[in-house]
Structure 1
Amino acid sequence: MRILLTNDDGIHAPGLELLERLAAPLADELWVVAPAEEQSGAGHSLTLTRPLRIRKHGERRFSVTGTPTDAVMLALGQLMKEARPDLILSGINRGANLGEDVTYSGTVSAAMEGALAGVPAIALSQCSMAPGTSDGVRFDAAEAHGPDVIARLLDAPMPPRSLVNVNFPPVEASDVRGVKVCAQGFRDYSRLNIVERTDPRGFRYYWFGTGETVETPGHRTDLEVVADGFVAVTPLDLDLTRHDQLDNLARRFD
C-alpha cells in the first residue's frame, strides 16, 4: 500500500510526526507532502496568485509553500504522478475538527482534495484537553486508538467523492469510552462570541470565539460524541446539494 500523509499544521508538526509512526506499519511506501508552515483555517483554498515551491526534506518527504489543498494537488499531480497513493491520511490535527469546522479546516480539506481525485481519504484530529485552546493538546488518545481506527476504516468501502472525519476525544487514552459512528454536528453561530480588546497602541482588535452546540436527540453528532469521551467517526460527502429541495425550487421556475 502506498500512503500519502499531509496536514494543515505544517511539515514539522508533532501530530504529523505521530501519524507517520502510526501509518508506517500499514504502508509499503510512505510519502509526506505537507504545507511548509501552519495553515489552520485555510479551508479548501487553492493558491492561484503566486508560484508554489516544493522543498525536499528526505526520501519521499516534501513541504509546499501553500495550503493543504495545494500540497495534495502537487503530490498527486507532480510528485506522485507516476504512482498515485492508495490512501491519504490528513492530520493528526492539533485541536478538534467537529461540526461546521469541516468547512474551515485545512486538515479536512486536504482529505477532501484526495476524495475529489478518487483517492480514499481520512482526516484525523486530536481534540484539546482545554476546550477552545490548542495549548492543552496531548495526542495520547490518538496514539493509543488511532491504529485500530485506521485499520478498521481500511476495510470499509468508501463511495466516490467521500471521506471520513475522525476526532479523538480530549481525555486520557485509558478514559476513551469507545468509538461511535455519528453525524456532523452544528453550533449555533447566532450566539457567536466575539471578543473586543485594545492593543498597546490604543487600536481595537477582535478574536472570534465559537458558537454553542446544537443538542440533538440521543446525542448523535460528533460534537456530542466527543464530549461524551468517545472517538467520533463521521462519513462526509462532497455533494452539498439539498436533494430534498430540488423539486420545491424547480416549481418556482415552472
Structure 2
Amino acid sequence: MKILISNDDGYQAPGIVALHDALKTIADVEVVAPEHNNSAKSNALTLHSPLYVHEAANGFRYVNGTPADCVHIALTGLLGYKPDLVVAGINNGANMGDDTIYSGTVGAAMEGYLFGIPAIAFSQVDKGWGEIEAAAHKAREFVQQLEAGKHFGGVPWLLNVNIPNMPVDALKPMRVCRLGRRHAAERVIEQQSPRGDTMYWIGSAGAVFDEAEGTDFHATSHGHLSMTPLKVDLTDHERVVYWGQALQQSGKEAA
C-alpha cells in the first residue's frame, strides 16, 4: 500500500511526525506538507504566486502553500504515481461539526478524494498534542482495518476521524456519526497597531449547539473515536423542486 500524508499544521508538527512513524510500519509513505501552519485554509489553492518544494533532513517534502496545494502538486506530478490512500493530520485540535468546512486538514484529504483516491482526515479533539502516540496508534489501526476489509481500489470515499486525547487503553470503540453544529463564531477582536491602524482578529469558534447522541461531539465527549463519511456535493437536493416551483411562480406573477 502506498500512502500520501499531508496536514495543515506544517511539516514539523508533532502530529504529522507521529502519523508518519505509525503508518510507515504498514505501508510505503511519503509526506508532502505545508512549510508553515495553514489552519482554516479549507480547500484553497494558490493560483497567483509560484510554489516551491523543498526536502527536509528527514525526507519530508514541504511546500510554501496550502494543504490542498500540497496534495494537488503531489498528485499531478511530484509523486509520479497514484497512491492508494491520502491521509491528512493528525491535526492539533478537533475538526467536528461546522469546523470541517474551514479545516485545512479536511481540505487536504478532500483534494485527494477529488482526484478519485480514498482519503482520511485525522484530528485530535484537544489542542496541545497530548497522547499523540495513542492517536497515531489508532490511526494506523483504522487504516489496517480498512485494508483488511478491502475498502481500497473501488469507489473513492472521504472520512473525517476525531480522536480524544486519551491513552490507547482508555479510548472507546469508533462510532460512525453525523456532524454536529456550533453556534455562530464569537465577535471579531479589534486592536490598534503600533501605527494606529485598526487590526481585526477572527473570534473564537462558537460554542457547541448540536451535540445530540449520534453526533461527533457526543461520541468524542464520551471517549469514543468519531468517524463521519463526508461528501463534496453541496446541492440542497431537498430544495431543488421547491426553488424550481418558486421561480416558475414568481415568473408568472411578474408577467
> One fold, TM greater than 0.5?
yes
1:137, 1:198 → 2: CA distance? 32
2:112 aligned to 114, 132, 137, which one?
114
1:26-105 to 2 correspondences below 5 Å: 26-27=26-27, 29-57=28-56, 61-81=60-80, 83-105=81-103
2:85, 2:96 → 1: CA distance? 22
Could you list the runs of 5+ residues in structure 1 that have no partner in the other structure?
129-133
- Percent identity, aligned pairs only? 35
The TM-score with structure 2 as length reference comes to 0.86
Query: How many pairs align?
Result: 244
- 1:174 corresponding residue in structure 2: 169
1:80, 1:170 → 2: CA distance? 33
- 2:128 pairs with 1:135: yes
1:92-241 to 2 correspondences below 5 Å: 92-128=90-126, 134-135=127-128, 137-154=130-147, 155=149, 157=151, 160=155, 162-189=157-184, 192-194=185-187, 196=189, 198=191, 206=201, 208-215=203-210, 217=212, 219-241=213-235
Helix, strand or coil: the match of 1:245?
Answer: helix
2:181, 2:186 → 1: CA distance? 15
The TM-score with structure 1 as length reference comes to 0.87
Q: Is the Cα–Cα contact under 8 Å of residues 9 and 35 in structure 1 kept in the other structure?
A: yes
- 2:252 corresponding residue in structure 1: none
Q: Look at both structures and tell me which one has the larger radius of gyration over its CA atoms.
A: 2
2:145, 2:98 → 1: CA distance? 25
Query: Alpha carbons of 1:200 and 1:78: their partners in 2 closer, same or farther (altered >3 Å)?
Result: closer
Q: Is the Cα–Cα contact under 8 Å of residues 127 and 167 in structure 1 kept in the other structure?
A: yes
Could you list the runs of 5+ residues in structure 2 that have no partner in the other structure?
249-255
1:45, 1:198 → 2: CA distance? 27
